[in-house]
Amino acid sequence: MVLARSRSLFLLGFLMSMGILAAAYYLQWKIGLVPCSLCLVQRFFIALLALSCLAACVHGPGLRGIRRYLVAHTLLISAAVAAALRQLWLQANGEQPKVACQPGLDYLMATLPFPEALKTLLLGTPECARVNWTLLDMSVPEWSLLALSGLLLLTLGGWLQALRLGARAPS
């Protein structure tokens, strides 16, 4: 019965991750916001989290597997949170760019060596410091942090459940 609840948690994590990605693509395609490099990094980690949650839900792992998935989910959420915090730091402390547009991801990957392109993606570009859209006076990375905190709470719930399972397991 308890393992069935872990499948439900993984399914909920998958649905939440897909909801975050759907909102991001809605902002891009319907509102017209162009994602900066840090937004793309956040999407990448959230997409990996969604895939991992779906795999965990389909797999239906035992206690060891649940713990492994939870470690992976904690790391993926932490990486996405780090990218969102970096973007918030750039918005608070960075100089607002005068340039209308930065080169896209395709251009970065085509013109720069991979380590340099990766560094640019992870550190952000001046475009990441621009606040293009707000809702309830919160920018996109703030909303992202709010959504990621929900995913983190769900993962913490999974950890609590795994700890209870481990305490009940015979030695």
Q: What is the pLDDT of residues 55-90, one digit of tens each?
A: 988 887 788 888 888 899 999 999 999 888 888 887
The CA distance from 146 to 16, in Å, is: 12
Q: Provide the H-helix boundaries in 27-62.
A: 37-59
Percent of the chain with pLDDT over 70: 70
55 part of a folded domain:
yes
The CA distance from 131 to 36, in Å, is: 11
140 part of a folded domain:
yes
b/e map of 142-157 (b: 16 or more CB within 10 Å)? bbbbebbeebbebbeb
The CA distance from 31 to 127, in Å, is: 17
Q: Which residue has the higher pLDDT, 87 or 5?
A: 87
169 part of a folded domain:
no
Q: Tell me what pLDDT residue 75 has.
A: 93
Q: Which two tokens stand for residue 85?
A: 């915090």
128 part of a folded domain:
yes
Q: Tell me what pLDDT residue 99 has.
A: 44
CA quadruple 45, 46, 48, 54: dihedral, nearest 10: 160
Beta strands 134-135 and 138-139, pairing class: antiparallel
149 part of a folded domain:
yes
The rounded Cα 100 to chain-centroid distance in angstroms is 26
Q: What is the pLDDT of residues 115-163, one digit of tens each?
A: 776 666 666 666 666 667 666 776 777 888 888 888 888 888 888 887 7
Name the strand (E) or helix (H) holding 12. Answer: helix 2-26
Q: What is the pLDDT of residues 29-61, one digit of tens each?
A: 888 877 887 888 888 999 999 999 999 888 877
Whether 102 and 125 have beta carbons less than 8 Å apart is answered as yes
Supply the Cα-derived Rg of the chain in whole angstroms.
Answer: 18
Domain that holds residue 21: 2-164
38 part of a folded domain:
yes
Rounded (to 5) percent helix, strand, coil in the chain: 80, 0, 20
170 part of a folded domain:
no
How many structural domains comprise the chain?
A: 1
81 part of a folded domain:
yes
